[in-house]
Chain A
Amino acid sequence: MKKNLFRIILTVLFIIAAVMYIYPTYNDYQINKQLAGLKGPDSLDFVTKNAEKIRKARDGRIKLGLDLKGGMYVVLDVDVIKLLQDVSKKKDDPTLTQILNDLKVVAETTDQPILDLLKAKLRERGLTLKSYYGEVRDDEAAVEKKLSTEIDNSIERAVEIVRNRVDQYGVAEPQIQKIGGKRIIVELPGVSNPEEVRKLLQGTAMLTFHILKDPEGAVKIMQAINSVLVGKEVTDSAKKQADLKPDSLKKNESLVSKDTTAIKESAGKNETKKDTTKTGKKDAVKKDAVKKDTSKTKKETGKKDTAKKNDTSKITGDTGTSIEDSTKNLSEEEFKIKFPFFYLVRLNEQSGTADGYVREQDKEIVDNILKREDVKAVIPSDVMFAWSQRTFEAGNEKIYSLYCLKKDAELTGKVIEDANSNIDPTSNTPIVTMSMSSEGSADWARITGANINKRCAIVLDGVVYSAPVIRTKITGGNSQIEGMGSVQEAKLLEIVLKAGALPAPLKIAEERSIGPSLGEDSIRKGLTSSGMALLLVALFMIVYYKFGGTVADIALIINVLFVVGIMASFKATLTLPGIAGLVLTLGMAVDTNVLIFERIREELKSGKPLRTCIDLGYKKAFSAIIDSHVTSIITGIILYQFGTGPIQGFALTLLFGLGANLFTAIVITHFIFDMMLEKGKEISYG
């Protein structure tokens, strides 16, 4: 029958898709099981060999919610009252402090905007907003508008600051989410130190400007680090790689040499971008210079593409040491052993900089190297290394840049008065303008004047957001940064610059931490009880509806497969209420089958042939099934809309389950019965 053929194909396709989506989760589970059985060096070996496989499994697996895994869930509110205190030009004015303290009490119980409350309080005392937030000649409405935008924008800054810090903290799979325009939800799986997290999230952001160490000096420092590594025991991973057996090495080698070219290429692109990034005096952009610069870099990039793969080692020679000759013809693995640091931190000879390029997975290793006491000893005390905030793609890999900066900040972000991202109308490229206070401008003029053609890193909480080249001495305090790759990048830089200028104080509105043992406990109990319930119901169905019940059970299993598959494809998070939702949809699935089977039994009583009875049973039960599912879907959607966190997980599995259920109960079971009939089999509904 054609109708059945279509149904079968559809079902098989769905099942294949579900299995494909579930496979990474299974794979991840297997890998973890294998890893748990391996000891120290073996597990490291295993991880190195299967890096790609592990990553894929991890990306595709169904994520577990905090209630199952343990960790912290924090809801942050922008502390508007503190913000109002911080942005006031009379910060320590006792009257203002008094008013804001009063406001704190009032704000707890009302939903009115705090700015309105503040206005009312000020009016009571015969004061105005501009007496604290503007100049005498300012228009009161304009001051209010400015303050109101300030409050609105503070959440953007806060999100960026929080994201930056959470990234640095190194939590796996953190979730940072802005909700409702004024609140940030941070989920940190596996974190169990609330105090540390609190400090991390609530501390004041530090924006600083650092001049980059000159390339020659930087390379020398890196060479010194390399010597330390060669002289002593190399990092675990580097050592591991050096110790690898020949055949596994081959695999690795191909991976690395492929990566090297990829890094070069993309690094070149990156440099093109960097070179055009320049800080210049407003209205004094030297277009020609920029153009020339770009074309030159491009030419170099092209030249470099044809260069041999051992380029990287050459730059170490460039600085005049004798390594050059000896390294020229090194193979990858020899290079790896002789220059472990430069193996991890790739330099680009042609860029004329000493920015190190590090693959995402090597970042932690490099961090650990830089933290070692013997390594620290060779890094001059006035120098520090800092990571780029962004990565760029080279081939399939994400690459971080490692900058060598002068440790002492030239300037802090406090001097920034304003920053704005724009599109430059003449060149049609994104730019960021920034203005400084008069005091800051004087310093800035001195700094820029002394460092023309050097690069200046913009660093927020220790992470480099941009490192433009200083083109001219900037005397007026108005600077323009250009050469950003995209409008988003410019916008981010604006937010970062503002974060230095303006605080975004946060307060913790909600905090939940779940210990890992509780998580394990609840997942075990949740899963075993769900499994038991399912088994009982399945048994009952077979006893009560005989063959019909068996088919219903098959549909039930397919249903579970579908729901889990859909969850995996949506990258949804499984929570404990989610498991409960799954169990309940299975209850609904059973109900649908019961409904159909009862109808078929009724029809059978009237003595009609089996085939007619089955078709009639499905037909007559249909309206009830649709109506009951739609009403449940309505509640599910509303639950998703109004619930938060775990409850949304519940609603989501419920919705997925209801959808899967309609398909399995109406399509799959029906065609199984049809096929049985065609083969002339007897079907018993108990």
Chain B
Amino acid sequence: MRLFENTNIDFLGKRRKFYVVSLAVIVVGILALFFKGIPLGIDFQGGTEMQITFQDKMEVSDLRNAMDKSGFVGMEIKSMGSDKDYLLRTPLQGEGQTVAEKIQKGIKDNISNNNFEVKRVDKVGPKIGAELRKNAIYAVIFSLLGILVYLSLRFQFVYALGAVIGLFHDVLITISAVAIFDATFPMLQLEFNQQMLAAFLTLIGFSVNDTVIIFDRIRENIKLFKNEDIEKVMNKSVNATLSRTIITSGTVFLTVLVLFVFGGEVLRAFAFTFGIGIITGTYSSVFVSSSIVVDWKHHVIDKNKAKGRPKLSTN
């Protein structure tokens, strides 16, 4: 069985259109972020979070009433897929008798005939939250830098730059997607926590992997077709690797889809984010990273023509 064999699609010729598409998505995303804000988990903002499972059916309104009565007015209460599982969250951390115990007491006092089990309690202090946030940003920045340096060594700087811009694009679009989906499908429980950070770093790794494989073929083809136009060579390379791109992205996407559906709530946010990342990562390898390299090379050729040096260095 063979899919996408001998394709000859003019991917890069349409790159300007796709620049517009990418920009449009990012603008929508930034607007969503601006109005909705990044949903920060307690990992990054500090607070107390509890996951509770009731024995019997429980109405959100009753639970909210109980919380209001016990002093947690306006507490965040989320249903976790069923009317028995709830997530309670407050920015409070409390000293001495901690918030989690007060919450438990509040439920016990105000809700009778419905036993519950505390499945998980997370309490993160504000300083730790700030530190984790800082480390998360460092992690992303340093991995981008590391990639920039390595690719500059293995290819040319402009390729490395194209790859990293592509990664920025992926991160931005995925953040936007998370914000938008969180606003529209709150039951997905999307928020920025440590798992989400792992998802982002994985998508960076995956996306750059995809880009590197296309670049690798460009590097090879430039040597083979020395006198051809760079855009043509790059199109050839994208087409040559298309089969691999689709199959790999497809299988990994399949994996992530399975994790998303069957992996349980802990893996769900991770799988969602990474799934979005696979789509945008595959897209950006061609329509952002490669496109930027083409545009840059054209720019250099134009400049050289003006200076009367038509030959282009190929390596």
Contact = CB atoms under 8 A, between A and B. Distances in A.
Interface residues of B, number: 69
A638 B135 contact: no
Interface string A579-609: 0100110111011001100100110000000
Nearest to A646: B194
Interface in B258-315: 258-259, 261-264, 266-267, 270
A374 B312 CA distance: 95
A334 B147 CA distance: 72
A654 B206 CA distance: 12
Contacts of A630: 150
Contact of B244 (A525, A587, A598): A598
B7 interface: no
A529 B256 CA distance: 9
B128 A632 contact: no
B216 A537 contact: no
A644 interface: yes
Contacts of B143: 634-635, 638-639
B198 A580 contact: yes
Most buried by B among A514, A586, A654: A514
B120 A512 contact: yes
Contact of A647 (B119, B198, B213, B255): B198
B127 A643 contact: no
Nearest to A599: B244
Contacts of B2: 601, 686
Contacts of A590: 248, 251-252
Most buried by A among B124, B147, B205, B208: B205
Interface stretch (A157-165, A247-255, A400-408, A621-629): A621-629
B123 interface: yes
B247 A543 contact: no
Contact of B147 (A512, A576, A635): A635
A644 B135 contact: yes
A637 B145 CA distance: 13
Q: How large is the interface on A (under 10, 10 to 19, 20 to 34, 35 or more residues)?
A: 35 or more
A510 B128 contact: yes
Interface in A16-75: 67, 75
Contacts of B202: 584, 635, 654
Given A515-B117, A525-B263, A526-B264, A631 B135 contact: no
Interface string A506-548: 0111111111011001100110111011101100100110000
B123 A511 contact: yes
Most buried by B among A577, A598, A646: A598
A656 interface: no
B101 to A, nearest CB: 7
Contact of A577 (B120, B198, B216): B198
Interface of A: 67, 75, 77, 108-109, 194-195, 198, 507-515, 517-518, 521-522, 525-526, 528-530, 532-534, 536-537, 540, 543-544, 576-577, 580, 583-584, 586-588, 590-591, 594-595, 598, 601-602, 620, 623-624, 627-628, 630-632, 634-639, 641-647, 650, 654, 686
Interface of B: 1-2, 51, 95, 98, 100-101, 117-128, 132, 135-136, 138-139, 142-143, 146-147, 150-151, 154, 194-195, 197-198, 201-202, 204-206, 208-209, 212-213, 215-217, 219-220, 240-241, 243-244, 247-248, 251-252, 254-256, 258-259, 261-264, 266-267, 270
